[in-house]
């Protein structure tokens, strides 16, 4: 991520005021609108695999990766790995969303997505596609993100955009999804799908 910041300005202050604060405010405004509408029954928050890690605090690979494997904010700030601003923004925005939802009795569910692939409607190639193509294109900006994800997760997981859309619809339509995230342990998610 490139910044148009004054070289004398602290980068963390710049990121906070120009990226994170607006993301949190936008999310809270959306949740306030949902609350005011009195017709929204559930909100599905799209999280990211960038917010979790397959390594434990000792650097060992975990056998199961779910939402309990969330990357700590301190780790993101200390490591500042490629894509750190995106990760920090996602972590803090999701935290603020759940805080607001809990304080206002909003039914909020979060979907932790892997890297999204598939057709797109935008006039430019989405970042996720550029990240996926970077081993072929050699674009150093996106190649560094692939490397950072691989170092944290041990692989580059993909999900098709249509599957993400289906997951969002599923979570909106099923009351039992309350508090669930797609990152749940497989055996629990399977039990959830079976209705037990």
- The position carrying tokens 């193509």 is 133
Q: Is 90 a catalytic residue?
A: yes
Distance between CA 77 and CA 66 in Å, rounded?
22
**Structure tokens that stand for 1 in this block:** 């991520």
Reduced to 3 states, what is the DSSP secondary structure of residue 52? strand
For the chain, the residue count is: 196
Start-end of H helices in 64-194: 73-79, 84-103, 127-137, 140-153, 161-173, 186-193
Distance between CA 174 and CA 79 in Å, rounded?
38
Q: Do residues 83 and 50 touch, judged by C-beta distance below 8 A?
A: yes
The Cβ of residue 153 has, within 10 Å, a number of other Cβ atoms equal to 20
Query: Do strands 43-46 and 108-111 pair parallel, antiparallel, or not at all (unpaired)?
Result: parallel
Cβ neighbors of 91 (< 8 A, separation 6 or more) are 51, 70, 71, 73, 76
Q: Choose the catalytic residue: 32, 90, 99, 184.
A: 90
Residues tagged active-site: 90
């Amino acid at each position: 991520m490139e910044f148009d910041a004054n070289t004398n300005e602290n980068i963390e202050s710049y990121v906070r005021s120009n990226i994170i604060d607006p993301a949190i405010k936008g999310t809270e405004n959306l949740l306030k609108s949902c609350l005011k509408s009195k017709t929204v029954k559930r909100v599905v928050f799209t999280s990211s695999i960038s917010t979790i890690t397959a390594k434990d605090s000792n650097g060992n690979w975990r056998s199961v990766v779910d939402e309990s494997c969330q990357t700590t904010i301190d780790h993101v700030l200390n490591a500042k790995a490629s894509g750190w601003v995106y990760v920090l923004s996602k972590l803090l925005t999701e935290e603020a969303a759940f805080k607001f939802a809990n304080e206002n009795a909003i039914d909020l569910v979060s979907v932790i997505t892997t890297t999204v692939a598939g057709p797109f409607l935008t006039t430019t190639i989405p970042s996720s596609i550029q990240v996926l193509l970077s081993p072929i294109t050699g674009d150093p900006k996106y190649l560094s993100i692939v490397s950072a994800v691989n170092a944290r997760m041990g692989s580059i997981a993909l999900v098709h955009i249509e599957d993400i859309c289906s997951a969002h619809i599923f979570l909106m339509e099923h009351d039992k999804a309350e508090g669930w995230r797609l990152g749940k342990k497989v055996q629990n998610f399977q039990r959830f799908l079976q209705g037990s």
